Amino acid sequence: MVRQDKKNKQPFTMIIFGASGDLTKRKLMPALYELFKDDRLDSGFSIVGVGRSEYSDEAFQAYQTEQLKEFVADEEQDKTLMNEFVNHLHYVAMDSANADDYPLLLEKLQEITGEKQPSHLLFYLATPPSLYGKIPLHLKEVNLNQSGARIIVEKPFGYDLQSAQELNEIYASVFEEEQIYRIDHFLGKETAQNILAFRFANCIFEPIWNRNYIDYVEVTAVESLGIEKRGGFYDGVGALRDMVQNHLIQLVALTAMEPPVRFNADGFRNEVVKVYDSLRPLTDEDFEEHVVRGQYIREGNKPGYREEENVPSTSRTETYIAMKIGIENWRWSGVPFYIRTGKALPTKVTEIVVHFKKTPYQMFQCNEGDCPDANKLIIRIQPNEGIVLRFGMKKPGTGFDVKSVSMDFTYDKLGDVSIGDAYARLLEDCIQGDQTLFTRSDAVESSWRFFAPLLDYWKENEDAPLYGYPVGTWGPLESEAMMNDHDATWTNPCKNLTNTDQYCEL
């Protein structure tokens, strides 16, 4: 991947559909402000908000100024820079679902750019997924898909395999593939990218990164919060669609992929697709023994999922899922990948844990069965980003008692070096035209193709097990039992937390 120096700034006009929504104020505007503050944006850039709320340009600027004060860290706020940044903001009040309103957008863009056919356009769909298939077609009707325009689409890209294929067909009829940026903010996180550097920039790990030395791999992405008043959205999605089909399977791919011939967009994304295509197809046995669905239930004064706002009292939507999956290729055959995600768990953490095989013979002393664990590599993506390697060392003193110790690196130890915001990184890549960290159409379909049988099974078997787990616990006990056949266990950090906002040190 070739990174552009900040001196090679690219002109752009970004149009944000859903500009008065939560994603825009919490993530997009703070990320764009960060790029502006760091002098990484072309001086002539413009940002055009699109929404149904009635704002003038001045009112929209004032609104976003207040939001920036709330969602940008205090130490990052600079009143002068904020005022300069919001002067680049504009607004169009229109209904994104109504094709008749798009001439208003065209007229506004012509006014801002001074071009009859506006160029360097970057569309961001911060809208409900129901609009993902409509907006591109409406843009095409007013020729706003021309002149090198790019479009960024949030997840979920499709609800199942069929809807993903239909969306791909719509986008292919409006844009070329190199104009489409399917965004997954997990890949914008520094530690997620560091998996690749860790694997491919250090030759000491490559010889052992395979079935001969690795016993099993965990991929975990859990959080302590519930659905936070998003019941209307979440109940139609669930944990598999919300997290597993995109975020977790991407992390599996980063862990399992072969080194690209060249580290550019095509080389990287080709290897991701190869991993997806190598996933062992799910069977009836998997549905019954290697997939665990859960839903959080009341614990004390903390409500259960079915008590949340806009959630039906009989809902069978999963808020937790754990799965055992396999990769059928030369490197990973026989190595299980255990993945899990859930809400209302003890803490918020996203990490990959690589469990190496045990030594073939334990020759050192083990007092009362306290033998050193097998080597373990922990790649923490959030929070407290870092990497830890656990290995056995001799205890000081006489004899040869061996215990597990850690060698670790965390980004907070770099002092004042900022790791940057994931959205800022990905938005800059879009502006520069770098698609490396964005999902390609064949990867979307390959991922959905793998999970489709499971979704079909749940649809056809309404009585398929759905286990309750109390708020603040690590999910259904059945997810522990699922790992027994491989003598594996989940790595549950911070088991003794008293405050769910805390997280453990690596």
Annotated catalytic sites, by residue? 247
Inter-residue contact 357 to 501 (CB < 8 Å): no
136 in Cβ contact with 181 (< 8 Å): no
Cβ atoms within 10 Å, residue 391: 16
The DSSP output letter for 222 is: E
Q: Which two tokens stand for residue 125?
A: 């769909």
Residues 172, 163: Cα–Cα separation, whole Å: 14
Closest to 475 (Cα-Cα) out of 312, 343, 285 = 343
Q: How many helices (H) and strands (E) does the chain have?
A: 16, 15
Contact between residue 464 and residue 478 where contact means Cβ atoms under 8 Å apart: no
Residue closest to 252 by CA, chosen among 224, 234, 277, 282 = 277
Token pair listed for 318: 């999963």
d(CA 501, CA 299): 17
How far apart CA 78 and CA 81 sit, in angstroms, is 5
The angle, 0 to 180 degrees and rounded to 10, between the axes of the packed helices 29-37 and 422-432 is: 70
Q: CB-based burial of residue 126 (10 Å sphere; 0-12 exposed, 13-18 middle, 19+ buried)?
A: buried
- Distance (Å, rounded) from C-alpha 254 to C-alpha 269? 10
The arrangement of strands across the sheet holding 46-51 comes to: 89-93, 46-51, 13-17, 121-125, 150-153, 180-182
Contact, 40 vs 6, CB < 8 A? yes
